[in-house]
Structures are given as C-alpha cells and as structure tokens.
Amino acid sequence: MDITIHTSFLPHDDPDASLVFYRDVLGFEVRSDVGQGRMRWITAGPAGQPDTSLLPATPDLDATFEKVQACDAEVVQEPTEQPYGIRDCAFRDPAGNLVRIQELR
C-alpha cells in the first residue's frame, strides 16, 4: 500500500508567525501567499516534495467565500456547518482542482 499525505489544512490566527514557523523553523518552501493582513491563504510544503502542501484555514470564512465567489470561481459548496464539527466551503480553482477552506474557530 502506498499512501501519502497530499494536502492538510491547518488553522492559524497569525499568518506571519505561521510563515516563520513553517518556513524558517521547519524549512518548508512557501508555495503561495495570497491576500493581505490576517486574511491570507498560505500554502507551504517540505522542500523536494512538491505534491505535499499545507493550506491554513481562515478566521472569516464568509468574507473569504465572498471574495472567491466574486472572482467567478466555480462554487461547489457554500459555507456549511458539517456534521463532523467544522464549517467549510469548496470551490474549483482555474485548473479544476477542488479547494476546501475551513473556518478557524
């Protein structure tokens, strides 16, 4: 059996501190840093492992969803309270990849 972790979502409330930890402490590559202030999508992963990434969640799912929806992204799921205890939404990026965003609580 060949199982790997492709993407994990980690909530954060201080994106700059998260960058320092994952980039400077763990040595991860920052693959994207989109947004401004505390409202940022940061994707990072281990060097030499381009298929493994971390994507932190957002503290304001509704605002994030509105911003993504305004860009005409294909909405797969509006912000929804899931029965397993998280609130999230989903859309497709320009390449057709399913992207899920979880709300930080």
Task: Give the distance from CA 60 to its chain's centroid.
Answer: 12
Angstrom distances, CA of residue 15 to CA of 56, 79, 86, 93:
9, 22, 20, 22
Structure tokens at 41: 């999508």
Q: Read off the DSSP letter of residue 103.
A: B
Give the pLDDT confidence of 47-73 residue by residue, as tens digits.
Answer: 887 776 655 477 888 998 998 888 878
Beta bridge partners of 44: 30, 54
Q: Measured in whole angstroms, how far is the alpha carbon of residue 78 from the centre of its chain?
A: 16
pLDDT string in tens for the chain (105-residue length):
555 556 666 667 788 887 887 788 777 888 888 888 877 888 888 788 777 665 547 788 899 899 888 887 889 999 999 888 889 999 887 657 677 888 877
In order of start, what are the domains of the chain with their CATH numbers? 1-56 (3.10.180.10), 59-105 (3.30.720.110)
- pTM exceeds cut of 0.75: no
Question: What pLDDT score does 53 carry?
Answer: 63
